[in-house]
Amino acid sequence: MKIHLLLFAGAAEVAGTSDVTMEVGQAATIGELRGKIVDEFPDLGPIVGRSMFALNETYVSDDAAISDGDEVACIPPVSGG
Amino acid sequence: MIKLTKDTIDYHQLVEEARGNAFGAVVLFLGTVREMSEGRRVDALDYDAYPPMAEKELRGVVDEARQRWPLGEVSVIHRYGHLDLGDIAVAVVTASAHRAEAFAGAQWIMETIKERVPIWKRENWSDGSARWVHPQSAPTNDHDHP
C-alpha cells in the first residue's frame, strides 16, 4: 500500500524534498515506517530519531497502524513562537 | 480567531475583538523577530509549518487553556513564510474577568505552542549561513490529556 509522507524544516532540507510517496507493507506501523524512511534517506537518521509522527494530522505513537492512502507527517522538534 | 497566516498580523484588531464588558483584563503577547540569537546576528527568519495540523493543534491548546482558566475571547495567530527583523511572528490575546487568569492563560498558551504545534523557524544569519531550529529537548508526549 502507498502512503503520503510529509517532511518539514530540517528534515525536508536533508532529504531534498518535503513530499514523498512510499510503499509500505500491509499492517505497517509508524515504528516500521521510521526504519523505512531511514533506509531510503540514510542522512535523515538523526533527525527522524528525534521526531514525533502524525497520522492524518494527529500525533501518534510508534505502534500506530498505517492504512493505505494515509498522510503521515514526520514532525521534528518544533520551534514556533 | 485561531489561524496560521502569511499576512501581517493586525494585533490591534485582535485586541479590539477581545474586548468586552464582561472582561476586566485583556492581555496581548507579541513574539517578534529578534536580532541576536545565541550571540549571532540574525537577518531574517523563515518559518515552515504544517498548516492544517498546526491550526488543529492551536485549537487544542486554546481548548485546554479554557479548561484551566476562565477565559473569554482568545485569539492566536502565527505567521509562516519569510519574516524580517522586528516582524510579528505570533500574537496571543486572552480576555478574562481578572488579570491573573488572562496573564496565566496567555503565558501557558505560548509555552505550549513551543512544545507541540508543528511550526519551525530557520535562522538566517548575517554571515550568509542558515540553520533550522530543532531544540534538543524532545516535544512532550503529553498530547492526549484534557
Q: How far apart are CA A22 and CA A19, in angstroms?
A: 10
Rounded to two decimals, what is the model's pTM?
Answer: 0.93
Nearest CA in chain A to B135: A77
- Beta bridge partners, B48, equal B120
CB contact under 8 A, B114 and A79: yes
The answer to which of B33-42, B54-63, B104-113, B134-143 has the lowest mean pLDDT is B134-143
CB contact under 8 A, A75 and B143: no
Asked if pLDDT for residue A19 goes beyond 80, the answer is yes
Q: Which residues of B touch A4 (CB under 8 A)?
A: none
Asked if pLDDT for residue B7 goes beyond 70, the answer is yes
Residue where the block lists cell 536580532: B35
Q: How far apart are CA B73 and CA B114, in angstroms?
A: 21
pLDDT at res. A27:
82
Rg for chain B, CA atoms, rounded: 16
Q: Which positions ≥6 away from A34 have C-beta within 8 Å?
A: A48, A49, A53, A62
pLDDT tens, position by position, B37-74: 889 999 999 999 999 999 999 999 999 999 999 999 99
pLDDT at res. A26:
86
pLDDT at res. B38:
87
pLDDT tens, position by position, A31-76: 999 999 999 999 999 999 999 999 999 999 999 999 999 999 999 9
Q: Where are the domains of chain A?
A: 2-75
A74, three cell numbers: 514526520
pLDDT at res. A80:
97
pLDDT at res. B146:
36
Q: Where are the domains of chain B?
A: 2-132
Q: Which CATH architecture has domain B2-132?
A: Alpha-Beta Complex (3.90)
> What number of other Cβ atoms are within 10 A of residue A61's Cβ?
14
Asked if pLDDT for residue B138 goes beyond 70, the answer is no
Q: Which residues of A touch B132 (CB under 8 A)?
A: 9-10, 13, 76, 79
Q: Which residues of A touch B78 (CB under 8 A)?
A: 80-81
CATH number of A2-75: 3.10.20.30
* Sheet of A52-55, strands arranged across: A19-23, A2-6, A71-75, A52-55, A58-60
Best mutation target, A55, A71, A79, to test chain B (most B CBs within 10 A): A79
Residue where the block lists cell 495540523: B53
Q: Which residues of B touch A6 (CB under 8 A)?
A: 50
Nearest CA in chain B to A59: B143
pLDDT at res. B137:
65
Asked if pLDDT for residue B95 goes beyond 80, the answer is yes
